[in-house]
Structure 1
């Protein structure tokens, strides 16, 4: 599986990787009528927002990083697709709106920094000791922004407990399941934390690959 390629990724902005490509594959299979309202939360380079916009949908993208906002705006302009891009913390800029589809590739890597907020580029991947610092917020808040029949597509690591994600989303009344899985070699971040992850019981001594999952959740009509 090859990651998506974009012409511009500013320093400090998360470049499209295997998780982006896995979520893009799920997006490609999602039936979306022209004019559907799509939200990409934590857009980074704008790769997923641009893929959605190419299908004739109305796309809003949000990121907390000004560099990411600038990168996504430039990439959307170069791709020739309209994407409304806003800076803000998760759903803050769109609380008064609702959507047919929400996409998100949030930070999900367990980090030994505990409850301290990550800084710099690590904001794109570090997510607290259990990897759920942002995931749990998305599970609480995303269902309130979905229209009846609307769908949430979210990618994260199996290290950050997909079962808990599904439990939270079902608790909010959504139909939720893992629809895609893909195993990849450890990247530099996980290689550097391998021993810490093993001490936490998140990796066994035999684990040399990370599993990525896509969770699909739908709000019943």
Structure 2
């Protein structure tokens, strides 16, 4: 399987280390033939394309018009039958169910006083604790899983993976962090490094960010 490398349009989140980390976990996940897969917050469609190449029936959702256009364009270029819908998180797929849900949501803590992010920042900013979207996924995602279905979420250690695991277990899923990767601070985190240290999210000597993948399974 090649690297995740779709065409990226201006204003659409470009695949980065978090995309690659989740793509690696996806490739290790055993899927039933013709599995129904949902890629929520698809961006350029990188993960949706990866799932489609594995033989899954894929639906991709994003709130951004540009992202929806980019994902459709990339699916067309790749010759892959990905269904792309525009909408807020799970709204376009209410009433449907899936064998696998992939989520690479916004998860970066932001010193914004609680204001909702706008423009391109919607792809990474997620409120003061980084959980603006993560908590919704944990609350709403389990209802869309088929028995034995799996939810895979990639996030930063800065946005409390323990809370993600706890909320998913409260929803009666078997949940745990299954993969970790430490990466250099990107431009967004470097730009708010002082604020993150003041809040205690980064220690004085820490100069890397840890990414994690949480896997949650609905028992049969």
Partner residue, 2:42: 43
Partner residue, 1:219: 218
CA contact (8 A) 1:3 1:20 kept: no
CA shift, 1:3, in A, is 6.4
State the alpha-carbon separation in 1 of the partners of residues 13 and 199 from structure 2.
26
State the alpha-carbon separation in 2 of the partners of residues 5 and 147 from structure 1.
30
CA shift, 1:115, in A, is 1.5
* SS of match in other structure, 2:195: helix
Partner residue, 1:207: 206
* SS of match in other structure, 1:164: helix
Tell me whether 1:53 sits opposite 2:52 in the alignment: yes
The two structures have a TM-score, normalised by structure 2, of 0.98
CA contact (8 A) 1:37 1:57 kept: yes
Partner residue, 1:135: 134
Aligned positions, number: 219
CA shift, 1:34, in A, is 2.1
- Superposition pairs for residues 23-34 of structure 1, below 5 Å? 23-34=22-33
CA contact (8 A) 1:10 1:71 kept: yes
Partner residue, 1:90: 89
State the alpha-carbon separation in 2 of the partners of residues 72 and 112 from structure 1.
30
* SS of match in other structure, 1:113: coil
**Structure 1 alignment gaps of length 5 or more:** none
Partner residue, 2:110: 111
The two structures have a TM-score, normalised by structure 1, of 0.98
Q: What RMSD in Å do the two structures reach over aligned CA positions? A: 1.0
CA shift, 1:55, in A, is 1.2
CA shift, 1:10, in A, is 0.7
Q: Give structure 1 regions of 4+ aligned residues with deviation exceeding 4 angstroms.
A: none
State the alpha-carbon separation in 1 of the partners of residues 186 and 4 from structure 2.
17
**Structure 2 alignment gaps of length 5 or more:** none
Q: Deviations along 1:36-91, whole A, 9 cap, x unmatched? A: 10000000000000000011111000000000000000001111110000000000
State the alpha-carbon separation in 2 of the partners of residues 202 and 114 from structure 1.
17
State the alpha-carbon separation in 1 of the partners of residues 22 and 148 from structure 2.
19
Partner residue, 2:80: 81
Partner residue, 2:5: 5
State the alpha-carbon separation in 1 of the partners of residues 129 and 111 from structure 2.
9
State the alpha-carbon separation in 1 of the partners of residues 212 and 193 from structure 2.
20
State the alpha-carbon separation in 1 of the partners of residues 162 and 50 from structure 2.
28
Partner residue, 1:156: 155
